[in-house]
Structure 1
Amino acid sequence: MEPPECPVCLQSYDGACTVPRVLACGHTACEDCLTNLPKKFPHTISCPACTVLVKFPSQGPSALPKNIDLLRLFPSSRQNYLKPSRNCENFVDFVPRSWSDDFYTIWKDRVLPYDAISVEDGQNDDGDSASSSLLFGCLRDEQRLSLLRVASFQHEETGSVFKYSYVRKMMECLFGMREEARYELDVILSAKQRGVCRVFGLWGNLEDGLLYLVGEKLSGFCLDEFDNLLEDNIPCFAVIGMQICETIFSLQKEGVITGCLSFSCVKFDGFGNAYVDLIELLEAGRNVNRLVLEEASQCSKPIGLIEMGAIIRGLLKKGTFLSPEVLFELLKKQKIVIASASSKYLVSYSSDVWPLCFVLLNFLFGKHFTDELFESVDCVDTKGNGEELEDFLALHTGLTEKIRFLLESKLEGKFESLCKTLCRCCSLDLHARPVVSDLWRCIRELIINSRFISMIGFDSTTSDKVKDSCLVIGELSQMIKKRSSELERDDLTGAENGRGANESEADTDFVGRLSEGNIKSKDMHGHLDCVTGLAIGGGFLFSSSFDRNIHVWSLQDYSLVHTFKGHEDKVMALVYINGEEPLCVSGDSGGGIFVWSISLPLRQEPLRKWCEPKDWRYSGIHALTFAEDGYLYSGSGDKTIKAWSLQDGKLVCTMSSHKSVVSALVVKNSVLYSGSWDGTVQLWSLSDHSLLAVLGEETPGTIRSILSLAADKQIFVAAHESGTVKVWKDDSFVKSIQIQSGAILSIALDGKWLFTGGWDKTITVHELTGDEIALDCKHVGSISGSSVVTSLLYWEGKLFVGFADKNIKVYYYGS
């Protein structure tokens, strides 16, 4: 067998270079490793074997005794120094969720705070609020916004006791979306190109239960203002055209294909610069999908010229222009395609040139351009039979001929290069169309000599992404607005489909059913005054109260089965001890400590009792806990912590260091943590009851009384009267969080779930997530209580809450 080795560096002990030194906990490590281990607190060290915090001499590890016996051992008889097994039981998952921490990290910063946006009343700009998915609003700084609906979530929680937090609802909504829709959202939110209106993020409206994409709202110009643009200001047209081309080209380099443009998509800032509004672009795409869907619902055979003409007229009426191949793709999605339609019409970057050309012509010729196109569509419509692909070719030919006629008649032979390029943009053959950069060069020649154009190194390469996104035929553009009843039905369907296979288990579905109103709650009446403590053990729930009694409740039907009586003062603290003989111990405001036997049949009188000495400053027992060393520890109003023997009530030790009432006690990893009204947490060694460290002295002069403590695994949490909690991980301070507006009187920590309750009559639920480096505390939801929350206990999928109005409520599911 291998010789004994240091648990840190794994070097074999030799008594010279690797000297074994014994720590107070009994474990051994080499002298060099103990020197280099980080010291979180002065004169203390965390044992590398058992992680217990122990005293460390100021002289260094050389002052610790050598493990002589270990050096003498043969390999066959060495001791194994292993880390003690942590609590590996499966904690009950209070709030089930499907999304991972990585998903949360990606999307959390893209969700805008709920109070950051105010929605404006009234209709959208075109007055058609019935069919539009757009709303308008303002940011806090009065920045005007466009809001486009992208998803719905369950916002009404009638009959539900649990209220999800705003961020939690948004995460569930995003995770419930199709992956393709999330990809498009990611593309749009990442679009920071020049000439694109800013997209700020996502915002959920809790009033209508809809998730909106929030973007900057700039001003648009009326077509009437461009009627004389051709005659008065060709350079103005050139500047606007180049800016739009640059924006489209920038989007293509990021893998975004628009496939559709409308006059309303072009916006202008205060300096007259042209922008493309992606929010308006998606709304235009939805108008296209709406028209196609309407024709699909009325057509039982492959679509022909009549239906195609109706779609084009509807698009022209809204000032929207769509390339033919994108239209074919939309018809294919609706399973109605033109007879004999070829598969050669594939959506690509050339699909952007067609609508871009029509928008530029709209700027160039004004509102009469649309009227001319209407005439060309109507003229062909009267000739077609509505069935063959040749009819569509005739329709297309009519449009292109009309464009060529307008260019020749309006420009009167001028700008020949521009005319040819614009005509090529309208080609049905994608390969015959120019690229966006060619169109940009052609427009630039209107104001700059062609010799200078050749000097510009315009990179004509587009995106090399594996997955390109065409916004018009994507998921977001196909989210046509539904009635509220349909949205509610979708929510219910999504909730049913999203449930996991283990939804009946207690560790995955407690809050899932709680939020749906399927969780039962039961009031447990019996106390006559404020409930001060809760404990579980031996198949019972124990509760203490100012009424001087301890009630014993059945965990089967939550009925009152027994009452322990004997206290002459208010019972302030309660603890269950699972030993050879299960016990319940209570402490009162008069200093009395009562030990109750849990063995059946339950007795009325205590097994034993004693009272600690009093003085004029004394205000009784405020906290109790039990440690593995076999002692009961009490926190008192005389600023001390006392260790008691359970056998005879003998006082073993008194620990004095706090400057005010010791209000909370908890044991973790063989260390006693004590919280006090003086605002500090002190760490005590259970081996010799010496003070190891003090937490909370970093901000002198700002005392915030500690009212409750909780610990689980590596996490330690302290609750303050200011409504904040402070979190430590492995005895290193992580963060301070403002959770409630009033004092937090009770906290409970179970695995990753943190529960708090206090003066604001609300139980809040937070989820602790993170890795060895960072810890995040996410607000998950809340439960409204009937009174001030004075005690909390979570056990096997059941949440027990004690209130100041003498009631106890348990939230559970099942029979």
Structure 2
Amino acid sequence: MDQLEQPECPVCLQPYAADSVVPLVLPCGHSTCEACLKQLPNPFPHTLRCPVCTLLSKYSNSPISFPKNIDLLRLSSTLQDLPLKPKNVIPRSPPPYDNLPLPCQFIRNSWSYEFYSTWKKWIIPKDIILVEKSSSGSYGEIFDGKVLGSFESISGMGRVLKEEEKVGLLAIGIFKDGSEKSRFLRYSYESRIMSVLYGMGEKERNEMTSILNLSLRLCRAGNIYGFWYNDNDSCVYMVCENFNSTGLLKFFDNEEEGRLSSDKISGFGIVSTEMCEIFSSLISEGLVIGCLDVNCFVFNDFGRVYVDLGKVLSMGRRVNKAMRRGHKDSEVSMKTEVLENLVFISPEMLLKLFGEELFELDCGKSIYEVGPGSDVWSLACLLVSLIIGSSFIEEMAIYVDSIVNAGNDGKVYSYVSLCEDWMENVETSLGHRLGLEYVSQKDLLCRCLEFDISNRPPVSELWKCLRELVIKPRFDFWVSLKHEVKKEKTGHCIVLGELCQIAEETNKEEIDGLQQKYEIGRANVSRDVVEGLSGGHIKCIDMKGHLDCITGLAIGGGFLFSSSFDKRVHVWSLQDFTHVHTFKGHEHKVMALVFMDGGQPLCISGDNEGVICIWDASFPFNEEPIKKLHEQKDWRYSGIHALAVSRTEYLYTGSGDKLIKAWSLQDHTLSCAMSGHKSVVSSLIVCNGILYSGSWDGTVRLWSLSDHSSLAVLGEDTQKNVTSVLALAADNNLLLVAHDDGCIKMWHDDLLVKSLQTHNGAVFAVSKKGRWLFTGGWDRTINVQEISDVRDQIDTVPVGSIACDSVITGVIYWQEKLFVGQSDRVIKVINFRFFLVQRIVSIINNHLCY
């Protein structure tokens, strides 16, 4: 025979003992030790919740005044000398998403809440940005946008988008959800952005994170405010600061020959040293651009040089696009980039893009690795172009022409030899423009143009030399300080990274095949519904039968019950969604409906004249109700507005006389009336031993089920702006309250933890299933959100919305299906299996877009 275990406290798991761990009996019959009882949370005054059955109990004096459990003490003393069996304690952890039953993952986001919480701070609201025009209309170019309203990003450390401010918009991905194929689920604005970000490769997101962090840390970089989705083209854009500056182009207006004037030399020294400082910061962050566009540098309002990260990415995309068109087209494309867009590409970058097999490498491949030295070369080219002018651009075009044409005749060329002639011409022109006075600067710039990357000086040395053009060494006290030059390591190249790469042409036949494979068509109304379900073709069904607005929905016993203003209660089969029976007993509009699953399943309905009908909800159905109850009326009375049941004990009614009445389900008599609300009681719900009542007075009151006394009032402190409560949903200690201004408030115990503006107009229906929250109302839209509880912080993730044909008056979820009652007399059944498959197609499309 197995050894008996000593009785123990369900909280601390310590065996009961008369001297230390004394068991006290709670009103529900369970026992807890005295020490744990003192530490149990008290959600409301003079109440505590049983840790075993979660029933809320009240006490008058002190929780430790409950009686001792003498039987447990006697049993414990008998077994205390016996050896205890070792117990295998299995740690409890929340199940992973993939192991959840299907009803909990029917429209599961492909991205986790942790992913959402990481990136949501970069989301810019939908109505903040207006697209004005694009610069050229080609891929990779930055669109011009305008800010319509002020917005302060929580990720930007005080960086604010000001109204009427100009911004740049760079596309980073396209969201495709097959909306042209589906007329139901429309993914939310946040979900579309998240899907594109999640659809990126890990390397792309890491690059994005590096660039965003660089924008925050580098004071000389243009701001990146976040991500914005455009409904017109289904693109997600990176929103960047727009300086509205001509950049460095004004330096190319100088066409005079001979030496530069001292004023221009000084101006060149100021600009060049600031550019060196920017590159030094980039290198310290482990980032390499790889090539330079003259438009990458801009001036702010105070004449300081900034790097525009958005234009850096745009330039990188153009360069990659030009390189990937084949050598015949690349000749024209690269000449255009050099002559028109003034892009300077280092030799190792050209070699990386065109391929090493076309050239004979005189030295080891290590000297051609893209790294910080590549930016030194590109920066030197940009500085030399500022000194020499347009003639240098022509020389650069000849140099690029010799590179892109190499290998067209089948020969292998020496890579260094192709560049030496260009180098000699540049050195000659540079010496002519600077003269003998600036020989050291000329020599250092020429060293920067060396083809062996190891021979190029670090950017710090270039900065020190160019600074002498502005401040003479004997007056520059800062340079006399010890300057530590760190060993440069190969950093991440932005232009060669995933964000700048152009994806190959997507195989349209492959996408069409995937969509055809997973496409689920809408069933014809005239077809047999059972045939449609068995074939997996149904995604939405319209159940018609009522003659007026739907007012309530309830599920139980394998049936769906619906009430309406047409004075009837319909019964529908949950197997084939056909009409089964009609309860006819009301003479006025049926306002509320509830199902009770006890020894005898019951359907209970109430109308606007105070009549309550109790129906037998077992098949076959009876024509007449089991019992009719009548509420007492007066001249102010406006009928029953809400119903709720507590197990098989009480039926609760919320009425227009501001009262909540408790009816005994045993003898059908009125037990008591609870007062406190100042207007119509519009909604009732029972959860965890508490009755919640919502009213048009804007408050929610909590009542004890044991003695029907008041426990707390929620929302009483916000009575200056009263918004009527229209619907309630509860799960454990989380209460969801729907208001007539489109707001959903979330209460945890008696604390308001979150307020969501989810609808444009009154919210008449709210339903929670697991993590999923469904709300619907006046705007004819069902919003779907995921509730996440991470690190004791309750948050919601917008998933999408479902457009309906009429005002939504009821929502209830059951086994992967959402039942929606509407004011146009129709009940919609939406099958979420369809959305799970459609989500797969969406993820595939997002991966193939870019």
| Counterpart for residue 143 of structure 1 | 165
Equivalent position to 1:655, from 666, 674, 679: 674
Cα displacement string for residues 532-562 of structure 1 (whole angstroms, at most 9, x for unaligned residues): 1011122221110111111111223322221
| Counterpart for residue 209 of structure 1 | 234
Residue type at the aligned position of 1:193: L
| Counterpart for residue 480 of structure 2 | 455
Residue type at the aligned position of 2:225: F
SS of 2:326's partner is: helix
Distance 1:36 1:810 in 2: 47
| Counterpart for residue 276 of structure 2 | 245
What's the CA shift for 1:208?
0.8
8 A Cα contact 1:230 1:365, kept in partner: no
Matched, 1:397 2:427: no
Structure 1 residues 428 and 781: alpha-carbon distance in aligned structure 2, compared to 1, 3 A threshold = same
Matched, 1:275 2:306: yes
Equivalent position to 2:76, from 74, 77, 82: 74
SS of 1:639's partner is: coil
Cα displacement string for residues 414-447 of structure 1 (whole angstroms, at most 9, x for unaligned residues): 2222122111111111111111111111111222
Distance 2:376 2:551 in 1: 73
What's the CA shift for 1:66?
2.7
Distance 2:54 2:621 in 1: 40
What's the CA shift for 1:6?
3.8
Matched, 1:436 2:439: no
Cα displacement string for residues 375-433 of structure 1 (whole angstroms, at most 9, x for unaligned residues): 56668999998555544322211221122111222222222221221111111111111
Matched, 1:776 2:795: yes
Cα displacement string for residues 727-770 of structure 1 (whole angstroms, at most 9, x for unaligned residues): 12345431222222322111111111111122222222222112
8 A Cα contact 1:133 1:481, kept in partner: no
Matched, 1:284 2:296: no
Matched, 1:704 2:704: no
> Aligned pairs, how many?
777
| Counterpart for residue 505 of structure 1 | none
What's the CA shift for 1:131?
5.0
Structure 1 residues 313 and 354: alpha-carbon distance in aligned structure 2, compared to 1, 3 A threshold = farther
| Counterpart for residue 415 of structure 1 | 438
Structure 1 residues 373 and 546: alpha-carbon distance in aligned structure 2, compared to 1, 3 A threshold = closer
Distance 2:405 2:757 in 1: 71
Matched, 1:26 2:57: no
What's the CA shift for 1:704?
2.5
What's the CA shift for 1:108?
0.7
Residues 462-473 of structure 1 aligned to structure 2 (within 5 Å) = 468-473=491-496
| Counterpart for residue 224 of structure 1 | 252
Distance 1:241 1:481 in 2: 38
Distance 1:542 1:383 in 2: 79
Cα displacement string for residues 481-504 of structure 1 (whole angstroms, at most 9, x for unaligned residues): 98xxx698898799899x99xxxx
Residue type at the aligned position of 2:238: L
Residues 320-339 of structure 1 aligned to structure 2 (within 5 Å) = 320-332=343-355, 337-338=358-359
- Given the two structures, how large is their TM-score scaled by the length of structure 1? 0.87
Distance 2:758 2:333 in 1: 58
| Counterpart for residue 567 of structure 2 | 548
| Counterpart for residue 55 of structure 1 | 58
SS of 1:364's partner is: helix
| Counterpart for residue 43 of structure 2 | 40
Structure 1 residues 811 and 90: alpha-carbon distance in aligned structure 2, compared to 1, 3 A threshold = closer
Equivalent position to 1:677, from 653, 674, 696: 696
SS of 2:392's partner is: helix
8 A Cα contact 1:717 1:728, kept in partner: yes
| Counterpart for residue 303 of structure 1 | none
Distance 1:772 1:143 in 2: 38
8 A Cα contact 2:701 2:710, kept in partner: yes
- Name the Cα RMSD after superposition: 3.5
Equivalent position to 1:174, from 171, 180, 197: 197
Equivalent position to 2:547, from 520, 528, 535: 528
8 A Cα contact 1:377 1:398, kept in partner: no
SS of 1:414's partner is: helix
Distance 2:766 2:404 in 1: 74
Residue type at the aligned position of 2:778: W
Distance 1:24 1:381 in 2: 88
- Given the two structures, how large is their TM-score scaled by the length of structure 2? 0.84
Cα displacement string for residues 666-690 of structure 1 (whole angstroms, at most 9, x for unaligned residues): 1111222222223222222222333
Equivalent position to 1:199, from 201, 217, 224: 224
8 A Cα contact 1:261 1:356, kept in partner: yes
8 A Cα contact 1:576 1:585, kept in partner: yes
Distance 1:490 1:138 in 2: 38
Residue type at the aligned position of 1:68: I
8 A Cα contact 1:92 1:796, kept in partner: no
| Counterpart for residue 501 of structure 2 | 478
Residues 445-594 of structure 1 aligned to structure 2 (within 5 Å) = 445-451=468-474, 452=476, 454-461=479-486, 468-479=491-502, 520-594=539-613
Equivalent position to 2:823, from 787, 804, 813: 804
Distance 1:522 1:736 in 2: 33
Structure 1 residues 383 and 710: alpha-carbon distance in aligned structure 2, compared to 1, 3 A threshold = closer
Equivalent position to 1:134, from 130, 135, 142: 142
Residue type at the aligned position of 1:549: R
8 A Cα contact 1:622 1:634, kept in partner: yes
Structure 1 residues 281 and 153: alpha-carbon distance in aligned structure 2, compared to 1, 3 A threshold = same
SS of 1:709's partner is: strand
Distance 2:279 2:510 in 1: 35
Matched, 1:767 2:786: yes
SS of 1:678's partner is: coil
- Identity over the aligned pairs, expressed in percent? 44
Distance 2:586 2:147 in 1: 59
Distance 2:791 2:631 in 1: 43
Distance 1:762 1:744 in 2: 10
Structure 1 residues 119 and 641: alpha-carbon distance in aligned structure 2, compared to 1, 3 A threshold = same
Matched, 1:97 2:119: no
8 A Cα contact 1:253 1:461, kept in partner: no
| Counterpart for residue 295 of structure 2 | 264
What's the CA shift for 1:617?
3.1
Segments of structure 2 that go 5 or more residues without pairing to the other structure are 81-86, 149-162, 520-535, 835-850
Distance 1:69 1:696 in 2: 45
SS of 1:547's partner is: coil
8 A Cα contact 1:672 1:684, kept in partner: yes
SS of 1:175's partner is: helix
What's the CA shift for 1:130?
3.5
Structure 1 residues 338 and 756: alpha-carbon distance in aligned structure 2, compared to 1, 3 A threshold = same
Distance 2:265 2:622 in 1: 100
Residue type at the aligned position of 1:615: D
What's the CA shift for 1:468?
3.9
Distance 1:477 1:715 in 2: 46
Distance 1:160 1:143 in 2: 36
| Counterpart for residue 324 of structure 2 | 293
SS of 2:593's partner is: strand
Distance 2:404 2:606 in 1: 92
Distance 2:307 2:800 in 1: 39
| Counterpart for residue 368 of structure 1 | 391
What's the CA shift for 1:197?
1.5
Distance 1:721 1:777 in 2: 20
Cα displacement string for residues 692-735 of structure 1 (whole angstroms, at most 9, x for unaligned residues): 22222233444332111111234221112222121123454312
Structure 1 residues 389 and 77: alpha-carbon distance in aligned structure 2, compared to 1, 3 A threshold = same
Structure 1 residues 528 and 86: alpha-carbon distance in aligned structure 2, compared to 1, 3 A threshold = farther
8 A Cα contact 1:262 1:321, kept in partner: yes
What's the CA shift for 1:347?
1.6
Structure 1 residues 378 and 160: alpha-carbon distance in aligned structure 2, compared to 1, 3 A threshold = closer
Residue type at the aligned position of 2:170: L
8 A Cα contact 1:292 1:331, kept in partner: yes
Matched, 1:114 2:126: yes
Structure 1 residues 663 and 462: alpha-carbon distance in aligned structure 2, compared to 1, 3 A threshold = farther
